[in-house]
Structure 1
Amino acid sequence: MHELRLRSWAEFVDYCNRRDGWAFRGQADPGWPLFSSLSRRLLRDPAGRSEWQAREERSIRIFRRKAHVYLPDRSVLQDELRCLALMQHHGAPTRLLDFTKSPFVAAFFAVEQAVGDAVVYALNTPWLWSAAPRHDPTLTREQIDPRVQGNFERYFAENHHPMVWFGEPSEMDRRLVAQSGLLVMPGTLEMPLDDVLRSYDSEQPLIEKVVLGRELRSEAMHALYRMNITQATLFPDLEGLARSIGYELEEMWQRRI
């Protein structure tokens, strides 16, 4: 995976301008591998890989059995991708990785809680749109689309295929809309996303690692604040508003310096 380090906000803006149409993911620590929350949980499980499918199926089944009491429309639970997105955005471990179409939203998630260097990953979705892994050229994005009934069980649940699908649910929730969200679903849980992408043949990079030096955090957060990218706008509810107050303190301090 190609890696570069940026030391100013202007460098990051220039980089983004040259990655039109890509998808982005921010993480507060460059050392964290690109695993989904479900992968991280199962890799700590001493039971081993043979039980992963059953454990994932059970977690989805339990969520469906109980979540309906909190939902005005329980039909969302019958759609595989919408159900997984709902689980993901309320804290359940799933195989989804959250990306965004906005590099600036990704930068916010990278630097806001960072205490050192942070990182934004850039995914070459324009190339991946029509690509397929070398082991099976029939596994195109359209073919494996988990929004099609039965495709999740057919192509993802058994964890056999090092491949990736990306897109949005047929109906997006409020947070996905606010964050310009894009969901990335790997076909296997035991490999980080950058390793999965090595199963595709490409002469151009499919994913890039952009390390944001700790020295640019203050500049980045101020620029994002002026773009109205805050916890309050990305999580449009009372929780998001309350969480946004933390940075309001920083802005006040900056103006007094």
Structure 2
Amino acid sequence: MTICEVTIESIGDLAREVQALSSSSQKWLFRGQADARWPLAPSVQRGYSAQQERFLTNEFRVRARSRYFSCPVSNDYPGWLALMQHYGLPTRLLDWTYSPLIAAFFAVHPDYIADAPAERDACIWALDARSLNESQGFEPLIFPLDASSYEPLIVPAFKNRKELNTVGVAMAIEHDPRIQLQQGAFSIHSSRTPINAMDGADRWLRKFIITGGDIMKLFQELTLLGIRKYTLFPDLSALTSELRTIHPPHDDPY
């Protein structure tokens, strides 16, 4: 069956769609993407081999301790994977959030469109995490990333182990203020099939399309509602980036 798609033109439209979802007992997570055509696949599965993935994770572990003084212990693979994801290393984790507004922010903010074509639609995905977990042989619950049931999904990122070829959804461990502010969660991808291409995806996915002509409108609405980069990324570089976006130069200096 085809995944349900709905076009939204405003934050009000998004609120109505989310309200319709929340009438059920399902647990929905959200993800914003700057290009509606992008699949739901993690960064390490976009051109990297399994061997390259293990090279990335293990070299990061070897070299990180001299640069970061709160590294996980050696065998805390979920902790290492979360740290790698946090600092932008390609991993088998895909970011989600409990907040549809935060998902919308990542779909429309100008800082996140660098890899997207100029003419495009953006989108917000809604994921019924419990249904996906149940379909993959896990309990219909969302456990923390370091739960023992997720270990077979995570360890092959570091060691040459057999893959389960499944996907699980986990709560993020709040080791950093950014995780808390962004209300984060992860999908863990042992399978190389994107979530939206899996059998039964129509049962646990919804897709809200933001047409190209409405992207800036939604960005402005989010700004008015206080969903801004410096509120989600509590550091000075985010503050600088946000101020430059809100206040672009108006005069030609030459």
Q: Which TM-score bucket, shorter chain as reference?
A: 0.7 to 0.9
Are 1:34 and 2:33 matched, yes or no? no
In the TM superposition, 1:11-22 aligns within 5 A as 11-20=13-22, 21-22=27-28
Are 1:2 and 2:1 matched, yes or no? no
Kindly provide the CA deviation profile for residues 149-181 of structure 1, in whole angstroms up to 9, marking residues without a partner as x.
695356762464342212234443222112111
User: What letter matches 2:168 in structure 1?
Assistant: W
Task: Give the secondary-structure state (helix, strand or coil) at the position aligned to 1:75.
Answer: coil
C-alpha distance in 1, partners of 2:153/2:211? 42
Q: CA RMSD of the aligned region, Å?
A: 2.9
Q: Any stretches of 5+ residues in structure 2 without a counterpart?
A: none
C-alpha distance in 1, partners of 2:79/2:154? 17
Are 1:66 and 2:72 matched, yes or no? no
Counterpart for residue 91 of structure 2 = 94
C-alpha distance in 2, partners of 1:10/1:144? 31
Q: Does the Cα contact within 8 Å between 1:145 and 1:165 map onto a contact in 2?
A: no
Structure 2 residue corresponding to 1:117, chosen from 115, 121, 141: 121
Counterpart for residue 188 of structure 2 = 185
C-alpha distance in 2, partners of 1:30/1:154? 27
- Higher helix content, 1 or 2: 1
Counterpart for residue 231 of structure 2 = 233
C-alpha distance in 1, partners of 2:182/2:143? 25
Task: Give the secondary-structure state (helix, strand or coil) at the position aligned to 1:55.
Answer: helix
Q: Does the Cα contact within 8 Å between 1:26 and 1:108 map onto a contact in 2?
A: yes
TM-score where L is the length of structure 2: 0.79
C-alpha distance in 2, partners of 1:191/1:237? 35
Counterpart for residue 244 of structure 1 = 242
Alpha-carbon distance change, 150 to 124 in structure 1, aligned in 2, over 3 angstroms: closer
Task: Give the secondary-structure state (helix, strand or coil) at the position aligned to 2:196.
Answer: helix
Kindly provide the CA deviation profile for residues 70-99 of structure 1, in whole angstroms up to 9, marking residues without a partner as x.
222233664222211111121111011011
How far has the Cα of 1:248 moved from its partner? 1.4
In the TM superposition, 1:143-182 aligns within 5 A as 147-148=146-147, 152-153=151-152, 157=156, 158=161, 160-182=163-185
C-alpha distance in 1, partners of 2:140/2:77? 16
Percent identity over the alignment is 27
Kindly provide the CA deviation profile for residues 9-32 of structure 1, in whole angstroms up to 9, marking residues without a partner as x.
321111122233410111111111
Task: Give the secondary-structure state (helix, strand or coil) at the position aligned to 1:70.
Answer: coil
Q: Does the Cα contact within 8 Å between 2:154 and 2:188 map onto a contact in 1?
A: no
C-alpha distance in 2, partners of 1:150/1:79? 14
Q: State the number of aligned residues.
A: 233
TM-score where L is the length of structure 1: 0.78
Counterpart for residue 207 of structure 1 = 205
Q: Any stretches of 5+ residues in structure 1 without a counterpart?
A: 43-51
C-alpha distance in 1, partners of 2:148/2:66? 24
C-alpha distance in 2, partners of 1:150/1:19? 28
Q: Does the Cα contact within 8 Å between 2:71 and 2:80 map onto a contact in 1?
A: no
In the TM superposition, 1:219-230 aligns within 5 A as 219-230=217-228
User: What letter matches 1:212 in structure 2?
Assistant: I
